[in-house]
Chains A and B, each alone.
Chain A
Amino acid sequence: MDILVIDDDEEMRRHVVTSLGAGGHEVSQAADAAAALALAGTKHFDAIVLDRLLPDGDGIDIVRELRRSANSTPVLMLTAVGDIDARVAGIEAGADDYLVKPFAFVELRARLLAICRRGARADSPAAVLQVADLTLDAVNRTVRRAGVSIALQPREFMLLEYLMRHCDELVTRTMLLQNVWKYHFDPQTSIVETHISRLRAKVDRGFASGELIETVRGEGYLLRSVASSRAS
């Protein structure tokens, strides 16, 4: 993917550029708003990582400018300002996601991939999701695996739906908290882990086709369209 990284903090930019480059992405960089807009105007990028606080302006204005010129490149906004209103302002201006500094690189990568996929997907989300032999009907709120109907708690259902919509993508704990629980704070207990383990017990244990939900240690979770080899 072609990614544009805009941040006036040189060390931060270097780190993000190096890490993304190591992951096989083409990375361009800019240190201020003027350079960023000039680059975005001449070249197509698959995603933009944009720091909010720039020497010559607010990242929010850059997003507005991009959207005004019909540029729909997915934008992941970075900020040192962690409050909720700032997040809402960023999303309203047209950013696709918002990440508070400092962050783990895996968090940045996971969110970047997620917003790129979102752009590539159809506009109207599918009502019936199918991953391997797992089927989720978002309208009738039913789940079946290998033809067997599975009863889920409401939150487990939402969790599974989110994982299925992001199938084959890494989703981090924070992404789940924000999108499934709508928690914009960090709970001090293992609420995500507990619900994942409940969900696993219901949809992933005892099926011949193997386990679909994978834990990526220290990073997050992954629902694979092809079950892992170590079938139970």
Chain B
Amino acid sequence: MPDSVTHRSALLRSGAFRLAVLQAALFALIVVVLSGVTWLSVGKYVEQRVHATAADKLKGATRALEAEPAGVLTDDALELDSAQYFGLFDATGRYLAGEIHVLPTRERNTWMRLQARVVGPRHLHLVLATLADGRHLVVGVDRLRVDALLERLRRAFLTAGLIGLVAALVAGFVTARGYLRRVERIAAVAAEIVDGRLDTRLPVSDRNDEIDQLSAALNATWQRTESLLEGMRQLSTDVAHELRTPLAHLRFRLEETCASIDAADPAHAALARSIEDVDHVLGIFGALLRIAQVQSRQRRAGFEVLDFSQLMGAAIADYRPLFEDEGRALYADIQGGVTVVGDRMLLQQLLVNLIENALRHTPHGTSLTVQLQRTADLAEVNVIDAGPGIPESQRERALQRLVRLEASRSVAGAGLGLALVKAVADLHEASLQLLDANPGLWVKIRFPQAG
């Protein structure tokens, strides 16, 4: 039931449906106006014809009566056919002869019960005339055929209108649907591109209609974006390579020199520190490249269903001794069997970065709590330390690259740990929040759960 309701409301909301209804309403309006005008003019014309016939007959009957005032009063004598009736009344309006026995006050269309010959009321168009001797003559023309004609006309209009309306609705829906499906395809392709499949393109047909023109323009835009991004990536790789080569030479020369001099020489220690510095530079470089790679979203191709509980359990088991050595407690509350779709290596690094972030930036003796639980259809990770925390005003900045907050300046690092966590979370369409644990930092990450 909820399914069909959502389905119906989706249909009602769909542009195709609204366009079709609009088109059908417009069509219906045209049909109503057209039929109305036709019906009115046909009706008026028929009315005129009836009136003309009645007037003709009245004129003939009047002539016949005046020529022979005391003649036999029959339909034939008065030149009336079977669907035409008369009534004759004296000057005071008293009935004298004929099927019509009530004298109307004026000419009109009326339902009338006729005398003798006809049973039941007939719908008559009445015309009346006053003869030279003061008698009143009424002639009625049966409207049966006229009414039948008008009724048939009405039915024909109604049927044609209904069929046309349905046809307009269907046709409108089909054309609108066809168009909107192409629009939907554009949206779908755009979403794929946002997802990192940069080489996706829209089909362009030979018709070269508006949608084709739009598609071609979008394809060109995406082509340009792709080549720009590819250029950037190529540049990063090139820069990485170009920088690595001299750094590698530098490192080797330092290593060679270091190995060739006595360990007691103060130069030996200085060289060893220089090697560490080179390694530090390379470490930052590697981390930056990795964040850039994660942000390019190309790793989504290697996503698989992972046992997140197991991955987290392993990371905690690996780091527990480090906490114990510092006299700190590591509390773990991990719900079993929580799965996510993702990249194993990157999620492993995300967890390690979060744990190491706490290990390095919170004082000895403080505890760390790591939780994993399934909430609704999300896998929720909470990493809560008992350190100084991050002031609210600086939390946004803490997730940026190369940002090292004032409080952590004393600790070695490049400020890339949380930036990578953020990039990995984004890649997995997970939400990341930095909250206050009063005191301490509370990192909450919600992953969409697999299956």
Contacts and interface: CB of A to CB of B under 8 A. Distances in A.
Interface string A144-155: 000000000111
Interface string B233-244: 000010011001
A19 B260 CA distance: 12
B395 to A, nearest CB: 21
Given A83-B293, A105-B255, A185 B245 contact: no
Interface string B325-369: 100000000000000000001001100100010011000000000
Contact of A102 (B244, B293, B302): B244
Given A53-B241, A82-B289, A186-B283, A198 B321 contact: yes
Contacts of B349: 183, 185
Interface stretch (A8-16, A90-98, A112-120, A124-132): A8-16
Query: Main SS of chain A's interface residues?
Result: loop
Contacts of B314: 155
Given A101-B245, A105-B252, 13 more contacts: A12-B252, A15-B249, A15-B252, A15-B253, A53-B241, A82-B290, A83-B293, A101-B248, A104-B251, A104-B275, A185-B349, A188-B356, A195-B321
B396 interface: no
Interface string A53-68: 1000000000000000
Interface in A182-223: 182-191, 194-195, 198
Contacts of A189: 319, 322, 356, 359-360
Contacts of B417: 188
Contacts of A182: 345, 348
A86 to B, nearest CB: 10
B345 A184 contact: yes
Contacts, number: 89
A104 B352 CA distance: 25
Interface in A1-34: 9, 11-12, 15, 19
B255 A104 contact: yes
A83 B290 contact: yes
Contacts of B253: 15
Given A80-B240, A181-B318, A188-B360, A12 B352 contact: no
Interface size class of B (residues with CB under 8 A): 35 or more
Interface residues of A, number: 35
Nearest to A180: B318
Contacts of A19: 256
A187 B348 CA distance: 11
Nearest to B293: A83
A101 B249 CA distance: 10
Contacts of A139: none
Interface in B209-262: 237, 240-241, 244-245, 247-249, 251-253, 255-256
B64 interface: no
B317 interface: yes
A226 interface: no
Interface of A: 9, 11-12, 15, 19, 53, 80-85, 100-105, 153-155, 181-191, 194-195, 198
A102 B251 contact: yes
Contacts of A191: 318-319, 322
A182 B314 CA distance: 11
A153 B248 contact: no
Contact of B248 (A12, A84, A154, A195): A12
Contacts of B251: 102, 104
Contacts of B240: 80-82
Contacts of B352: 183, 185, 187
B282 A102 contact: yes
A81 B256 CA distance: 24
B178 interface: no
Interface string B384-413: 000000000000000000000000000001
Nearest to B253: A15
Contacts of B255: 104-105
B286 interface: yes
Contacts of A105: 252, 255
B375 to A, nearest CB: 29
A38 B252 CA distance: 28
Given A12-B249, A198-B321, A84 B345 contact: yes
B319 A81 contact: no
